[in-house]
Amino acid sequence: MTLSTIHCPALFITAPGSNHGKTTITAALARYHVEQGRKVRVFKSGPDFLDPMILERACGLPVYQLDLWMMGETECRRLLYEAALEADLILIEGVMGLFDGEPCSADVAELFSVPVMAVIDATGAAQTLGALAYGLANYRPGLKFSGVLANNIASPRHNEMIMQGMPPDLCYFGGIPRDNRFVLPERHLGLVQAEEVLDLESRMSAAATAIAVTGLANFPESVEFTAPEQETPPQLLSGIRIGVARDTAFSFIYAANLDVLRTMGATLIFFSPLADKALPDVDSIYLPGGYPELHLQTLQDNPSMKAALQMHFQQGKPIYAECGGMLYLLESIVDKAGNRGEMVGLLPGHAIMQNRLKGLGFQSAPMAGGVLRSHAFHHSLIETPLVPIAFGERVHNTSAGEAIYQLNRLTASYLHCYFASNPTAAAQLFLP
């Protein structure tokens, strides 16, 4: 059987580590090409929720994650192939440093033969930046390395010194000047959500203008993408109406998860625990993660929504809650300043926000219907008398995984599950 192939220009944006400006540059590059009238599809390597929100605003199209462990090669290949069918350009933003993690960004770029461009923060460095670029380009011989872009250039003279240290056989795309107009604001889980950055459009446009005078204004090389052999998930959710919480308090949700639920026949109806007074007419509830701790007063002062969720639970209908969604179902949340908000109270216990990261990493989640691959990333601890029905299993099994709780038809955990890793198991979370 001959598999279908298609060619599309593509570029993988990476760095030596976090905080070099990958998201800013990827968003700027996407916005630059969109302003030239091109259709740009953007992906984010890794399980991140926040960067894709910025990138989606930059390109105007949905942004999906690419992760070889969480979703597997076939699903990554499908997403890239389908994007290539409609796009003039594909951009992929890496996670952390190029070789960090197992699998790492370099594994994704190499598997799909996408050329790599490294963004390096030039703050406090000059000629040495060339050595960093040389190391990234040559550390793995099989990797297609297209060149390097310097970020946070202080002056034209600074740029000249960087060029002096650049190896002659390595492409230097140029430098992006240090400018507060480009900087994306951050908070404890990463970037501030796109819809909360009121001047995001002007920030991205200013960064796109800076891209226009670099070598990245030119198209990257074309890459061949191949359609994978795949099976359509069974119609296990045919006729099922699922209410999905979606607002600034509950926004950490994989676009691919919604696709899987729809593909299995579900009808999705979105609602806001912040603004709505009642639940839509649904069979099941999906409460994703997010920032409930930033909206304690509003969530506390919406007793109608809390009562609606309690009634849904008492009727024996399914509720699936991840991370922030689970915190909302507890009796209370206490934020870092000591402010307490009374929550829904379906789960006995309380959540207390911490100043440091308390959970991170990939885990396999043994749910009632099967194992789902998942990821955890949280700054809170919970105190509950509930006994977990299971625990996530870390990839390298270095310590105990996250607890999974079940109370009647309510399933809750810190884990963010990727439904395409096991659609049948995902369906069981929502079946009445």
- Residues with a known catalytic role: 323
Closest CA to 152 of 19, 14, 13: 19
Measure the CA–CA gap between 308 and 281, rounded to whole angstroms.
11
Using CA atoms, how far apart are residues 293 and 343, in angstroms rounded to an integer? 10
Reading the block at residue 151, the tokens are 């970020």
Taking phi first (over 0 means left), then psi (-120 to 50 degrees means alpha), and beta for anything else, what does residue 154 get? Answer: alpha
Contacts of 33 (CB under 8 A, 6+ apart): 40, 88, 89
- Contact between 244 and 219 (Cβ < 8 Å): no
Question: What is the C-alpha to C-alpha distance for residues 278 and 253, in angstroms, rounded to an integer?
Answer: 21
**Helix 200-211 to helix 22-35 angle, to the nearest 10 degrees?**
80
**Residue whose C-alpha is closest to residue 105's, from 132, 131, 139, 128:** 139
Q: What is the CA radius of gyration of the chain?
A: 22
Q: Which amino acid is at 194?
A: A
Neighbours of 102 (CB within 10 A): 11
**Cα dist. 185→124, 181, 182, 199, 236 in Å?**
21, 11, 10, 11, 42
The answer to whether residues 251 and 193 touch, using CB atoms and an 8 Å cutoff, is yes
